[in-house]
Structure formats: structure tokens, C-alpha cells
Homo-oligomer: A and B are copies of this chain.
Amino acid sequence: MFFASDNWAGAHPKIAAALSANAAGFDAPYGNGGLDQSVAERFNELFEREVAVFFVATGTAANALSLASVNRPGGIAFCHREAHMIEDECGAPEYLTGGARLCPVDGPLGKMTAENLEAALSRYEPEFVHSGQPMAVSLTQATEVGTIYSLDEIEALAAIAKKRGLPVHMDGARFANALVSLDATPAEMTWKRGVDIVSFGGTKNGCWCAEAVILFDPSKAREFGFLRKRAAQLFSKSRFISAQFDAYLEDGHWLETARHSNAMAARLATAINASGKARLGWQPRANELFPIIAKETVEKLETAGAAFYPWNAPQGFAGAIGPHETMCRLVTSFATTQEEVDRFGELIA
């Protein structure tokens, strides 16, 4: 019953097999190998247009270098107040951009509202050097609290950015979970709605290390290659990332694992709602859920071997948490089994 995070899981057998299968033999390093090229082609197909793909070591690197590639003097990126970039990256975006600022934007349950983004941006006058200048808008899909921007919401936020000439970045650490939840295509969830750069994450969904920056504007690709190398994020034996993405994307494997993960979250949600001992803070849309559980039940669950974390209620949470209750975060993954979920359900009942 490991629900602590989706990165507690290892690698999906299919990914592990692909790594083993590509271990032997020789190939050009630094992204110039045969497999590297064919995986790049896969991404073109996936997004229905020519894109530039850059593997990096971590999701934090993907986010930070995405911003670094569009930063300007005094630049400020706008993202949700509880975004991973703000909460969990130890200042990497600030560091790797050379000092950009992240401006928190409010909104309920992990999502910036259009009104709040508009208001945050409108505080900056174009020629007023003292306050710095906006340089990007970044949204997280799925969000940190398991909610999802609809395609229209993405478009609305992107339109606000575009009006000011700002690029739009999507932190897609859980891209697949959001995609299958929306039943959309990668193109629909990104560039067709105004997204310019994606942090495309595979690690949380069954790879062990597969993160990529996707640029929809190929003219930025040349500089990004230098940017990545300078940030010490260019793997020599790049083919091992390619091997993961190759298996990940093949025959819709990534969508399948994401669907499984989301389904396990839904099943957990049902069990929790049925228990009478706990209730959901809000309805999960992807693979994270946030039940409010009686403290003694939390102890019982932990004693029984369930792993999960307490969590601070996010902005916009309208419910009440009693003095003997705790909000918790549970995350499912490709490796979560129905048995585990059901066992958790029995324990909590």
C-alpha cells in the first residue's frame, strides 16, 4: 500500500525490458544515436507537428530550463502559488535562469484562475523597469492537487499570456494522467490551445528517468542545445533515455499506464467515500487524492503498512478539517494494484 508518491514506484517491466534490450552494442552518444533520432520522430508524430525534444535528468531541470530559455532581464514567471516550481524545486528555476522570479498566482485547488492571472500580470507596466517584467506563464497539468485544467481553461490562460507576448509553459510531470482524464490528444492539450513549451514527464508514469523539454518553436532549438549542455543536463549515453521513451510511447503504453493509475485513484476514492471514516477533500481527476481521515484511522493505516503523507489543505479548499482529522495525500501509479487499493479500502472501512 505505497501511496506516498508515484516516484516510490520503480520502472514498468516494459520499460525495464527496453533498457536491457538496448544495453549492448555501440552507438553515437549525446543524442546523436539511431534510437535518439527515431524517438525524436516519435515525438513529432505524437504532437502532430515538428517539435524539438531535449532530454534532461529531472522534472525540475525541464521546468527550470524551459523558463531559462525564455527569460529576460528582470524576468518574472507566473504560476500557481502551490506549483512544484515554487514549492519543491529548491530555487532551481531562479538559479538556472540566473535570477528570475516566480510570481505566485492564486486559484482554488491548484489552478490559476484567468481573473487572477490577468490581475497579477496587469500590475506590471511595460516600461517601468523598477518592478521587473513578466517573461512567461507556467501552468501545471495535472496540478499538484490532482485537478486538471480543461482545454478551454488552458486556452483562456494562454490567451492572457499571448496578449502580452508571453510564452506559455506547461509543467507536464503528470502529462499522461491529465491527457487520459481529458480524453484529449497531446496537440489539443498543448500547442493547439496556446502552449509553447512542455516539460514532458515519463518518470512518474513508469519510466525510471525520462524527462524531456518539448519546444513547439523549432527556431529555439539551436540555443536550447547549448543551454542544456551548459546546465550539465546532456546525457552521454542518451540512448538509455531514448529506450525508455521508445517503450513508453509505443502502442499507447503510456496512456495505458496513466489510465490504470487514474483508475486506481478512482477506486480508492470510491472506497474512501464508502468508508464513512474518511471523506475526499475534492474529487480526484488524475492519480492523486486528498482524503480527510480521522487521526486514529491514519495511525491504524500506517501501522498496517500503508504509506502516505499528511498534506496542508490547498488554497480554495472550502471544507472543514476537524481537530481529530488530517488531510492526507495518496498517489497511485502504474504499479498500484487493485489488491492494494482494496486492502486499503477494507482497512479504512
Residues of A near any B CB (own CB < 8 A) = 2, 4-5, 7-13, 15-17, 19-20, 22-30, 56-61, 64-65, 72-76, 87-92, 94-102, 127, 129-133, 203-204, 208-209, 222-237, 239-240, 307, 335
- 27 A-B pairs within 8 Å (CB atoms) are namely A2-B26, A7-B236, A8-B29, A10-B23, A10-B26, A10-B239, A10-B240, A11-B237, A58-B232, A58-B233, A58-B234, A59-B236, A60-B229, A72-B226, A74-B90, A74-B95, A89-B130, A91-B100, A91-B132, A92-B232, A94-B101, A95-B98, A99-B99, A127-B222, A129-B226, A204-B236, A209-B237
A73 to B70, CA, bound (A): 12
Complex Cα distance, B334 from A237, in Å, reads 14
Task: Let me know if A26 and B9 touch, CB within 8 A.
Answer: yes
With both chains docked as a complex, state the minimum distance between the C-beta of A243 and any C-beta of chain B, in angstroms.
Answer: 9
CB-CB < 8 A to A133: which residues of B? 226
CA distance A57 to B233 in the complex (A): 7
Neighbouring B residues of A24 by C-beta, 8 Å: 10, 13, 335
Candidates B7, B101, B232; contact of A57 at CB < 8 Å: B232
Measured CB to CB, the closest approach of chain B to A289, in angstroms, equals: 18
From the candidates B27, B92, B100, B203, name the one contacting A231 in the complex (CB within 8 A): B92
Among candidates B16, B23, B132, residue contacting A230 with C-beta atoms closer than 8 Å: B132
Give the residues in chain B near A11, CB-CB below 8 Å. 23, 237, 240
Most buried by B among A30, A59, A76, A96: A96
Determine if A230 and B58 form an interchain contact, defined as CB atoms under 8 angstroms apart: no
A296 to B275, CA, bound (A): 64
> Contact between B7 and A226 (Cβ–Cβ < 8 Å)?
no
Is A95 in contact with B25, judged by CB distance below 8 angstroms?
no
Closest beta carbon of chain B to A272's beta carbon, Å: 20
Q: Do A26 and B8 contact each other (CB < 8 Å), given the known contacts A92-B231, A232-B61, A234-B58?
A: yes
Q: Give the residues in chain B near A230, CB-CB below 8 Å.
A: 73-74, 89-92, 95, 99, 132
CB-CB under 8 A from A94, the residues of chain B are 94, 99-101
Per a CB cutoff under 8 Å, which of B5, B73, B89, B102 touches A223? B73
**Smallest Cβ distance from A275 to chain B, in angstroms?**
23
Given A11-B240, A132-B230, 5 additional A-B pairs, CB 8 A:
A5-B29, A16-B20, A96-B99, A96-B232, A232-B233
